[in-house]
Amino acid sequence: MLKLILGNFISRMLTAVLNFGTIILISRKLGPEGKGLSALILLTLVSVQMICDFAGGAALVYWSPRYRLRSLLLPIWTWTFLCSIGLFIWLQFETTHLLYGTALQATALCFINASFSHHIHLLNGRQQFKTTALILLVQSAVTLGCTLLFLLDRPEVFDYFYALLISWSISWLSSLFFLWKTRDTALPSFDIKSHAKKLFGNGLQNQMGHVLQFLNQRVFYLFIPAYTLGIFSNAVALGESIWMIAGSIATIQYGKIANMSNHHEAALLSARLFRTSIWLSLFAVIVVACIPGGFYELIFGFAFVNVKSSLLGLLPGVVFLAGYLILGHYFSGTGRFFRNNISIFAGVLATFTGFALYHVIAGIKPDEIIASRITSVANASICISAMWQFKSDSGLSWRELFPTFSDLYNLRHWLRNSSL
């Protein structure tokens, strides 16, 4: 297990470096406003993906080892296609939207992105962790290369859009090939007529949490100007890059738990990984907090001087959400997605309460600094709610959840223990 987590982390780290290369390119070539508009393009595509994931979504990790792949792919591809057509229809009426002139390409990119996400979940459900890590790494490398090539001559926002179209298409074809290699005809078929409720029911429970979390993390993208958004989105990207530590652990944890039948063992594993994730993420946050603000101005451009201030407001919440990722994957891996929704709803309440206090009561329009602080409070609310539910569900004591220095000493032993 240690090798799987370390391998996944190294791959994620390399992927993050390549993604930051793309962010730096866009920031330096297009400035804060161009970076903000690029973020809005991505926000639109990912928003539709949220709807597409109502058919399975991350719940496919749970279903993948239980049914034939072909029987799962047909219904989710059909649903994804319909949702993508919905984006095309919406863009015909939303003439002021940035993607209005490229509605057809945006529709194709939406389908590719959403179905690719499904492919990754299915591969993880079959414990193909190295394969998915490699595909995502190559995707980031191609995106960076294409973005660099397009931005060399007359740089514009849509250079990033077409770079995504190329890289996501290559990744989609690659993931489909590796899925074909893992096919298992001995598994029962997923009958959409009799199991549609399962597919959409589990997908709805699981994806509702993702939608709420997406709203919680990205709601301020809709309320701040493009120039300010360019600065804030870079701070968010830096903060969320730390989640690759927890994400590397959670990806392996999810695949392991989805194939476990003993919930007590799954709970013990999750509690240990929760403490580990908190410690490792805390160390990363401290390192990032010590980096001087001039460094971000140097790599992104002089107009991004406020990135450090926004990032400092986000960092406490990064640690909390790193812990939640582990507990959330415990609930998802055991098929109880609704518990994640309760925790994330607590975060949404905190977000809108903070927004109301600043904007409605105090009359202060949220900027990138206020947005980062509210986001941190919301993430803390999510983690605390998840901890409370986990304790109640697992029967473990609070001592199993609170990190101690002995966790650092036992880290290697825990991860290498065959019982995990």
CA angle 171, 211, 201 (to 5 degrees): 90
How far is C-alpha 373 from the chain's CA centre?
Answer: 20
Asked if the model's pLDDT at residue 192 lies above 70, the reply is no
Round to whole Å and give the CA distance between 302 and 259.
50
**Residue-wise pLDDT tens digits, 75-93:** 889 989 999 999 999 999 9
Question: pLDDT tens, 193-233?
Answer: 666 666 665 556 656 766 777 777 777 787 788 888 888 88
Residue 221 vs residue 164, higher pLDDT:
164
Instruction: Give, for 340, the enclosing helix (H) or strand (E).
Output: helix 338-355
Say yes or no to pLDDT of 377 above 50: yes
More confident position, 169 or 304: 169
The reported pLDDT for the residue numbered 340 is: 80
Handedness of CA 301, 302, 303, 306 (dihedral sign): positive
In this model, does residue 38 exceed pLDDT 50? yes
Name the band, by pLDDT with cuts 50, 70 and 90, for residue 412.
low
For residue 13, how many other CB atoms are within 10 A of its CB? 15
Nearest to 379 by CA among 309, 306, 323: 323
Give the whole-angstrom CA distance, residue 294 versus residue 384.
34
Mean pLDDT of the chain: 84
Q: What φ, ψ does residue 12 adopt, rounded to 5°?
A: -65, -35
- Tokens 């812990």 correspond to 323
Instruction: Specify the pLDDT at position 161.
Output: 94
pTM of the prediction? 0.72
Residue type, 210: H
Q: Is the dihedral of CA 257, 262, 267, 269 positive or negative?
A: negative
- The C-alpha angle 250, 84, 351, rounded to 5 degrees, equals 50
Whether residue 420 is predicted with pLDDT greater than 60 in this model: the reply is no
Q: Which domain range does residue 395 map to?
A: 2-416
From 125, 114, 76, 135, select the one nearest 332 (Cα to Cα): 125
pLDDT of 417 strictly over 70: no
**CA dist 317 to 59, 239, 386, Å?**
26, 9, 14
- Range with the poorest average pLDDT among 229-238, 341-350, 374-383, 406-415: 406-415
Mean pLDDT of 246-263: 75
Split into its structural domains, the chain has a count of 1
Residue 75's alpha-carbon distances to 54, 66, 271, in angstroms, are 11, 16, 35
Percent of the chain with pLDDT over 70: 88
Question: What local confidence, expressed as pLDDT, does residue 159 receive?
Answer: 93
Q: pLDDT, tens digit, for every residue of 129-161?
A: 788 889 999 999 999 999 999 998 888 999 999
List the single range of 196-205, 259-268, 399-408 with lowest mean pLDDT. 196-205
Mean pLDDT of 294-309: 86
Q: What is the average pLDDT across 161-175?
A: 95
Residue 2 has pLDDT above 70, yes or no: no
Q: pLDDT: is 304 or 199 the higher one?
A: 304
The answer to whether the CB of 163 falls within 8 A of the CB of 140 is no
